[in-house]
Amino acid sequence: MLGACTSCSVSCSTCLGSATNCTSCSNLTILSNNQCVCLPGYFLNANTCDLCDSSCLTCVSTATFCTGCNLLQGKVLNGSSCICQTNTFLNTSTLICQNCSFRCLTCSGASQNSCLSCDASIYRLINPTSFTCDCMPGYFENTSFICQLCVSPCLTCNGASTLNCTSCISGYILIGSSCVTTTICPQYSYDGFCVDSCPSTTYPLGNTCVLCTNNCSLCLSATYCLACKNGFIFYNNTCISICPNSTYNASNICVSCPSSCVKCVHLGNELVCLSCLNGYYLLNNVCSSQCELQSQKFVLVNQICIPCLYNCLTCSNISSNGCLTCSSSYYFYQGMCLNNCPQGYISNNSICVPCFGNCSICDTLTCQKCTTGFYLTKDGGCFPNGYFSSAGVVKKCHVNCLSCTD
């Protein structure tokens, strides 16, 4: 009816001229070409805008029908789904695509044991047991983590040398870690050649020269080293990283500590014990069977025999007030050894004793100053105010005197 108001479309908040010619929009929609469309990340569902799935940046029809993907999550569009790219996997905690191990083509997790497929163009195959992408047979992983071709006559190997074979091509047999021909050499076979003697880094096994192992640079057998590679220490004909207890490193050779030491170290020209066997005590960097505790000049702390400290001659402990007697020229006072006796005390055979009767400063015979409330008499005594000494007898002053002398 002419002049009658007609309701706008449900998608419009306001409209002009027709129900679908929107001029403003309701929540979760924006105006586009006079139409109200859902905000990015929402889709129209029965006249309402619903949120797209978290894997989608934008979607239509349903929450999981993606039309765009969140690049911050590292995902790409595949049909109507957002998936992680090759060499990445979805972290289910953060919902972000993370890189696979560099050895994997596709994976289910970040570790090198989570591969799903491998890149054959770089000579890697999936290990169905460990789920790792290992080098193909005939290749080994070098220090740059690249699968490198084994050298002939190795069929398989664990290194770049002909001394790193694990199996051999036809016509060769594996001796130790070397492939040698079946030709019998008059002396020794080494690296496919006949030699008169084995090189220094090998040892003879039958008539074959086998590479020294276990970090040995020179050896007599697989278990008997004569010298070690750089970075290793020689000990009982083996090559190790750290010297065991009761030995110390002397020019990359483990040498025995003194018999009573558990741990020791060589400092300069002196061999210093750090800890001792049970029944021995660490004293002046040496393990001793006695600590002379009876002399009271030492104190035992955690099997370490420690001389008395703080100028003590003898002591009961190593605290500053643990002295029993003092070294020469020091004075004993309440468990401490001092340069001088404190005020109110005087030395008696290097022991600080209190000054006599109400005296605060004294020498060996007389008082020099009395404590508060007492006065110093001519003969060096201290008497309370109102009293005096006469012929060794204490008498009271006249009632009008505060203090007096006779």
Q: pLDDT digits over 54-78, tens only? A: 888 899 889 999 999 888 888 899 9
Instruction: Mention every residue, 6+ apart, whose C-beta is less than 8 A from residue 159.
Output: 140
Q: What torsion do the CA atoms of 97, 100, 102, 107 make, to the nearest 10 degrees? A: -140
Checking phi first, is residue 177 left (phi over 0); if not, alpha (psi -120 to 50) or beta? Answer: alpha
* pLDDT value, residue 40: 85
pLDDT (mean) for 317-323: 86
Tokens of 341: 């006796």
End-to-end CA distance of the chain: 139
What does the DSSP 8-state code read for residue 100?
Answer: P
Percent of the chain whose predicted confidence (pLDDT) is above 70: 96
Residues of the chain with pLDDT > 90, as a percent, come to: 26
Confidence band, pLDDT 50/70/90 cuts, at residue 145:
very high
Mean pLDDT of 328-333: 92
pLDDT higher than 60, residue 3: yes
pLDDT band at 2 (very low <50, low <70, confident <90, very high): low
Phi-psi category of residue 128: left, alpha or beta, with phi > 0 → left and psi -120 to 50 → alpha: alpha
Residue 99 reports pLDDT greater than 80: yes
At 293 the pLDDT is: 59
Predicted pLDDT at 294: 62
* Contact (Cβ atoms closer than 8 angstroms) between residue 127 and residue 135: no
Is 203:178 a contact under the CB 8 Å cutoff?
no
- b/e map 355-387, b = 16+ CB within 10 Å: beebbbebeeeebeebeeebbbbeeebbbeeeb
**Each residue's pLDDT tens digit, 349-363:** 899 998 887 888 888
Provide the residue type at 117 as one letter: S
Query: Which of 109-113, 254-258, 300-304 has the highest average model confidence (pLDDT)?
Result: 254-258
Integer angstrom CA distances of residue 388 from 16, 308, 378: 123, 49, 10
- Dihedral-angle region of residue 110 (phi above 0 means left; psi in -120 to 50 means alpha; beta otherwise): alpha
Cβ-proximal residues to 138 (8 Å cutoff; 6+ apart), any chain: 149, 150, 155, 156
Mean of pLDDT over the chain: 86
Beta bridge pairs of residue 192? none
Cα–Cα separations (whole angstroms), residue 258 to 31, 129, 229, 292: 91, 51, 27, 21
Please indicate whether residue 102 or residue 1 has the higher confidence score (pLDDT).
102
The DSSP code for 292 is -
**pLDDT at 124 (0 to 100):** 94
Mean pLDDT of 169-196: 80
Residue with more model confidence, 95 or 145: 145
Report whether pLDDT(21) > 60. Answer: yes
Q: Checking DSSP bridges between strand 12-15 and strand 22-25, what pairing results, if any?
A: antiparallel
The reply to whether the predicted model has a pTM over 0.95 is no
Q: State which amino acid sits at residue 167.
A: S
Least confident among 229-238, 296-305, 374-383, 389-398: 389-398
Residue 1 has pLDDT above 60, yes or no: no
The string over 231-261, giving b where at least 16 C-beta atoms fall within 10 Å of a residue's C-beta and e elsewhere, is: ebbbbeebbbeebeebbbeeeeebeebeebb
Quote the strand ranges of 182-269, DSSP E: 188-190, 193-195, 202-205, 208-211, 216-221, 224-228, 233-235, 238-240, 247-249, 254-256, 261-267
**Across 121-148, average pLDDT:** 93
Query: How many angstroms separate the CA atoms of 271 and 259, rounded?
Result: 13
Res 27: pLDDT: 77
Rounded to 5 degrees, what are φ and ψ at 61?
Answer: 70, -55
Mean pLDDT of 260-273: 86
How many CB atoms are closer than 10 A to CB 56? 25
pLDDT value of residue 180: 77
Q: pLDDT band for position 182 (50/70/90)?
A: low
**406: pLDDT confidence band, cut at 50, 70 and 90?**
low
- pLDDT above 80: residue 139: yes
Residue 267 reports pLDDT greater than 60: yes
Question: What is the model's pLDDT at position 229?
Answer: 93
- Provide CB contacts within 8 A for 282, sequence distance 6+: 273, 274, 275, 276, 288, 303, 304, 305
Average confidence (pLDDT) over 365-390: 78
